[in-house]
């Protein structure tokens, strides 16, 4: 079962952070290869597992660096906003141990954060998240 475990110095304060990469989706990679177009490198990002997020979210700079074009628009609601339209992009989330998940991520500013990706319940829907608070560790398995 593909999985990774992260040890965070203060898991309660910092949250379940993970060093990950984001890349273009497999179908887009195949299309670009076939057309002999350049393929962008994966982009390193600080991610956070967020069980309060219906879907995964990426910072606009990620979409820009990967030259992604939107494949959808969804409306989102947060405690401070309602019905905000956001683009969706097809992305590959690459976690430690080469654990890979393909999903559609929403683009949002993630203002004031040191994270570039929220890993939401669209990803967790396929896996098992074990949050072991007393040893500051979490594991995500698929």
Q: What is the binding site for another protein (CB under 8 A)?
A: 25-28, 30-32, 35, 37, 48, 50, 52-55, 57, 67, 69-88, 90, 102, 104, 106, 108-113, 115, 118
- Cβ proximity to another protein: between 5 and 26 the closer is 26
Closest of 44, 87, 81, 36 to residue 65, by C-alpha: 44
- Cβ proximity to another protein: between 1 and 35 the closer is 35
Closest separation between CB of residue 135 and another protein, Å?
A: 24
CA distance linking residue 6 with residue 15, whole number of Å = 11
- Cβ proximity to another protein: between 115 and 136 the closer is 115
Q: What letters, b where the CB count within 10 A reaches 16 and e where it falls short, cover 1-28?
A: eeebebeeeebeeeebbbebbbbbbeeb
């Amino acid at each position: 079962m593909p999985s990774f475990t992260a040890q965070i110095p203060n898991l309660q304060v910092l949250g379940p952070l993970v060093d990950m990469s984001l890349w273009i989706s497999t179908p887009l990679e195949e299309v670009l290869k076939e057309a002999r177009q350049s393929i962008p490198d994966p982009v390193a990002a600080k991610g956070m597992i967020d069980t309060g997020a219906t879907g995964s979210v990426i910072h606009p700079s990620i979409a820009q660096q990967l030259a992604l074009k939107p494949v959808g628009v969804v409306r989102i609601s947060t405690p401070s906003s309602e019905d905000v339209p956001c683009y969706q992009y097809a992305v590959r989330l690459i976690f430690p141990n080469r654990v890979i998940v393909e999903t559609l991520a929403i683009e949002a500013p993630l203002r004031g954060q040191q994270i570039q990706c929220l890993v939401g319940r669209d990803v967790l829907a396929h896996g098992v998240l074990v949050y072991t608070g007393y040893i500051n560790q979490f594991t995500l398995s698929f």
